[in-house]
Amino acid sequence: MRCSCCQKELINNVTLRELFFSSSQRCYHCEKLFSKIDQATACPGCGRPNSAELCSDCRLWQQKLGFVMKNYSLFRYDDGFRQWIEPYKFTGDYRLRGAFVLELNRALQNYRSYLFCPLPLSKERFEKRGFNQVCGCLDLTKFSYELLLRRSELAPQSEKSREDRLRMEQPFQINGPIEKIRNQKVLLIDDVYTTGRTLFHGAELLYEKGAETVKSLTFAR
């Protein structure tokens, strides 16, 4: 058995009990990178840790757009998570994509009636990176997904300031026929929930085109 993150062979003899009941398939080193967010005390809007009530950011979104996202995030966006996402997303170490496939499968099971829609990269970004970092992870789960949105934007997200992102115009268009999303439930999937702006753009467009419900799931918050 190999570590689902770094792919190193797990040296210890894995018992059946560990195989079936362990909460991850990561080695001791990689296990420490991921801190799960306790859902019982996370913000019901954005999934922020330790905010059992709707947080002030979510209340602002609600005022501005008239809805709350209902985002679910698996892990805290902390130093450990950055130690995973930087080599994966920015250096392009594609082997790391299975790091939390177990947790991802479990989380997605809660959205059985939803269409799964990873946020798309711009064409330029996709060509430079060679893969969509969210699709890479989803490809190892037992669920299928569809790019219901496509984007055209000039600068990649991580080079923008927080203010720039909040000001940004709608970067998405519906990809394909609108009938696909009309009266459907859609789960937007992204790697990190930062301001929420990009996810809200996606949700706004999907609602405008007739989606019934839009929620989101991110790997980290």
Whole-angstrom distance, CA of residue 7 vs CA of residue 15:
19
CB atoms within 10 A of CB 132: 18
Residue 45: CB minimum distance to Zn ion, A: 4
| Binds Zn ion by CB under 5 A, chosen from 27, 107, 138, 186 | 27
Task: Give Dmax (Cα) for the chain.
Answer: 54
58 part of the interface to Zn ion, by CB under 5 A: yes
46 part of the interface to Zn ion, by CB under 5 A: yes
- Contacting range for Zn ion; rule: CB under 5 A; set: 44-52, 132-140, 177-185, 189-197: 44-52
Contact 75, 220 (CB under 8 A): yes
* Nearest CA among 192, 219, 191, 217 for reference residue 203: 217
Q: Which residues contact 68 (CB under 8 A, 6 or more apart)?
A: 44, 45, 54, 58, 61, 62
45 part of the interface to Zn ion, by CB under 5 A: yes
Residue 44: CB minimum distance to Zn ion, A: 7
206 part of the interface to Zn ion, by CB under 5 A: no
Q: Which is nearer to Zn ion, 30 or 203 (CB)?
A: 30
Residues that bind Zn ion (CB under 5 A): 3, 5-6, 27, 30, 43, 45-46, 48, 55, 58
